[in-house]
Homo-oligomer: A and B are copies of this chain.
Amino acid sequence: MPELDNLMDALGQLPTPALVVDGPTVRRNLQRLADYAANVGLNIRPHTKTHKSRRLVQMQLEAGAIGVTVAKASEAEAISDPGQDILMAYPPVGDSRAKRLAELAGDRNVRAAVDTLAAVHVASAAAVGSGTTVGLLVDLDVGMGRTGVPSPDATLPIAQAIDRAPGLRLDGIMVYPGHIWHTVDEQSAALQAVGNLIGETLELWARHGLQATIVSGGSTPTAYQSHLVGNLTEIRPGTYIFNDMNTVRGGFCTIEDCSARILATVVSDAVAGQVILDAGSKTLTNDRCIPAPDSGHGHIVEFAGAKITRLSEEHAQVDVTACSSKPAVGDRVTVIPNHICPCVNLRDEMWWCEPNDFPRHLMVNARGKVQ
């Protein structure tokens, strides 16, 4: 993000560590996905867990998104507005969670994903209690083994229960191909297998008089290969708006596509061959880089040869022995985290950067909204 580098003087005023975001790169990332989705006839329902910001929801909707995805009801409360279309890609289990979601359905089109009959019952009771209608998608596991029923056959009793239950509307099928971190060129077989499972499910449902108006899939690593699945109606990538070292080292984007960085200050160089940044695990998190677990705790843009070898809560230990020059105490650097989503969730604000302007304060509205 060359525009941001020109702003290092303005950034010099910000207390560190700080989350800085480059506006032009965000807009390019949004437009690129919008163009792809339009070309292949897919809707985009971005996962807002990455940015947790009302303003960025607006930008995504302006770029053509049909609605938003959240993980939790409290996130939906924090980042959505009346009239919007919201999918909670998460089971509405827990009385509080189901109730909050059902209440949002009073003036929004609210959907959630379920993989148990218990969740169907909780969602139905909450919708009836609130006098609203909640749409449900059946979560089908396509290989990640996290949530989702294990087979097309196993979707049927849940879909039928939704179809019969008061307060609910059967909306379709949700899959999450979170196990697919193959390089783009090698995703084809895995995505076609996902398509086959969905196809079987759709046929089974049709034989039982059930329809899926939504087939929701997609992740950032698979986003630009989503057409290979063959029967999706929408995709739900999240990270694509910012990108991070997971998506760079996975081969899904370049460093120049990373629109969010942590601005940090060198606070010590007392140990030989090492400098300390003021961004530790309470800023960068201890999330490893999925495609390169031994690559350290993020990438220092200005010192590409440096390696963040260890994080304490407030310290990053940086090995600078491979650097031709090293930063001095008091210098500022920017770090692209391994996984940007939990880093954003640690912050009250991000600093939005536009060329030739001072950084603007942007709230992380759903920071900490995990209920």
Contact = CB atoms under 8 A, between A and B. Distances in A.
Interface stretch (A226-234, A252-260, A275-283, A300-308): A275-283
Contacts of A328: 118
Given A17-B370, A281-B285, A282-B370, A90 B313 contact: no
Contacts of A345: 282, 313, 346
Contact of A271 (B118, B146, B287): B146
Interface string A120-150: 0010000000000000000101000111111
Contact of A15 (B97, B118, B279): B97
Nearest to A122: B330
A158 to B, nearest CB: 9
A269 interface: yes
Interface in A29-73: 49, 71-72
Interface string A340-371: 01100111100000000000000000011011
A154 to B, nearest CB: 8
A370 B282 CA distance: 7
Given A122-B330, A146-B315, A368-B347, A141 B270 contact: yes
A115 interface: yes
Nearest to A271: B145
Given A271-B147, A288-B286, A330-B94, A49 B314 contact: yes
B281 A342 contact: yes
A367 B329 CA distance: 27
A279 B139 CA distance: 19
A1 interface: no
A283 B368 CA distance: 9
Interface string A169-202: 0000000001000000000000000000000000
B282 A118 contact: no
Contacts of A118: 328-330
A149 B370 contact: no
So how many copies of this chain end up in the complex?
2
Interface of A is mostly: loop
A321 interface: no
A116 interface: yes
A213 interface: no
A243 interface: no
Interface centre among A148, A154, A310, A314 (most CB of B within 10 A): A314
A15 B371 contact: yes
A96 B15 contact: yes
A276 B15 contact: no
A251 B122 CA distance: 42
Contact of A329 (B71, B93, B279, B282): B93
A119 B342 contact: no
| A-B residue pairs, 6 tightest by C-beta | A115-B270, A118-B329, A15-B371, A15-B96, A93-B267, A71-B314
Interface of A: 14-18, 49, 71-72, 74, 90-91, 93-94, 96-97, 115-116, 118-119, 122, 139, 141, 145-150, 154, 178, 265-272, 274, 276, 278-283, 285-288, 310, 312-315, 317, 328-330, 341-342, 345-348, 367-368, 370-371
Given A93-B266, A148-B270, A286-B288, 11 more contacts: A16-B371, A90-B314, A93-B267, A94-B330, A118-B329, A146-B315, A285-B285, A313-B341, A313-B342, A347-B368, A348-B368
8 contacts: A16-B96, A17-B370, A72-B278, A147-B315, A150-B270, A282-B342, A282-B370, A286-B286
